[in-house]
Amino acid sequence: MSFDKKTIRNIDVAGKTVLLRTDYNVVVNSQGKIEDAYRIRMTLPTIEHLLGLGAKVVVLSHMGRPNGKKDLNLSLLPTATCLSDLLHLPVKFIPEITGAAVKQQIGNMPSCSVAMLENLRFWPGEENNDQDFIKHLASLGDVFVQDAFAAAYREHASIVGLPQCLPAVAGFLLEREITNLSDKFKQSAEPVALIVGGIKVADKLPVIEHFLDKSSFIAVGGVVANTFLAAEGHKMGKCTIEADHIAQAKSILRRANELTKKQPFTFMLPKDVVVAKNGQHVAPLRVIDLGMHTWADISSYPKIPKSASFELSSTDTILDIGPMTAAAISGALKMTKTAVWCGPLGAAEIKGFNQAEPPFSHGSRIVAEAMVGERSGQQNKPYSIAGGGNTINMLNSFGLGERFDFLSTGGGACLQVLAGQKLVGVEALANKEA
């Protein structure tokens, strides 16, 4: 489908101050360097276009979840430095958002220059969609450009509030994401596989529910799977569980069971998992089989295994899907035509901030190799879509990111678009016919 919102091609920005909303929620290592600048690089065409038209560009963005408090570990200063290096021009970092000094510094900027304000989420008004905060942000510029695709489903001040106060259009990144995801998924061949991981359970469950009728295979891993496993009655030790969403997980499992009786459909939770005491990656690891207890049988053969050998203890934390689960997902992908993946299937962030060092990304790597047709003996390569910052960081660390057919900067936003749902941040922009 054609993108029906106005873009930066449809608005005059010469001599104006443009508030550019981006999603620079990236990983910063202990040396203060950006681990993977993919999300930042993808906004460069928008920024360069605006500068070429003579605009002053003020970047608004966020990092992490500081809950309305200033946390210098989540400052955007390293991001401003990285953006400056990529643009090959100075990016002025303004360590505030409110106050007369901020307006003065923006007013003193020359044309064709770039500034970046501090992390929006340091101010409670951002996530609360506070009207006073919106008015202040709007007073800083003349035009609003939305390029934060990954955050475009959030009802935050800089996402849905600013378009109410300023002429609001889309940047090139947002246009690219919506157009590619909408068009390519509509044209995708069946059968379709959905792989979901990561930690944002509340964001993922509604989309999983929606995809039940749109796919033939769904596999769930990461923290998202913990809630499903708890819903099935498994002991979950010290794993993170979203207790408020167990009822919804049970509902999804019931629907999935009904579908398997009517048509070719598989809903897969981890069959085996890698665990360690208290989630410490330096602790001894063991693999627990949650289904057939194969690992326990092998370890105790010829004796009958004790239940403790195939259950999580009160101090165990799941760190990755096990090799049997990874092999099962890999096998299913060999028979699909289209595969969508959002969220690592293990704790890839442990030991190196998303550098995906083994063993906690072993399962994800097996799945990634299957999606790009690299597994031994694999003849079929599905059309592959991967989304989300952590997922892309991990895939790039494997050296496999460029082999995916489409990489989306958003995880939850990517899934919502593929499921045919509207993004509030996109709906708030001006229509082309307006």
Fold of 8-176+422-427: Rossmann fold (3.40.50)
Mean pLDDT of 54-70: 95
Same-fold call for 8-176+422-427 versus 188-403: yes
Tokens 């935050």 correspond to 156
Tokens 């939770």 correspond to 269
Q: Using CA atoms, how far apart are residues 285 and 152, in angstroms rounded to an integer?
A: 39
> CA 251, 257, 261, 263 torsion: positive or negative?
positive
**pLDDT of 421 higher than 60:** yes
pLDDT of residue 281: 63
Phi/psi for 386 (5° steps) reads: -130, 140
Return the top range by mean pLDDT from 37-46, 209-218, 362-371, 384-393. Answer: 37-46
- Kindly list the domain boundaries of the chain, sorted by start residue: 8-176+422-427, 188-403
Q: Which two tokens stand for residue 47?
A: 């920024």
Per-residue pLDDT of 245-298, as tens digits, reads 999 999 999 999 999 999 889 999 999 999 888 766 666 788 888 876 676 777
**pLDDT of 353 higher than 50:** no
CATH number 3.40.50.1260 given to 188-403: yes
Per-residue pLDDT of 63-121, as tens digits, reads 999 999 999 999 999 999 999 999 999 999 999 999 999 999 999 999 999 999 999 99
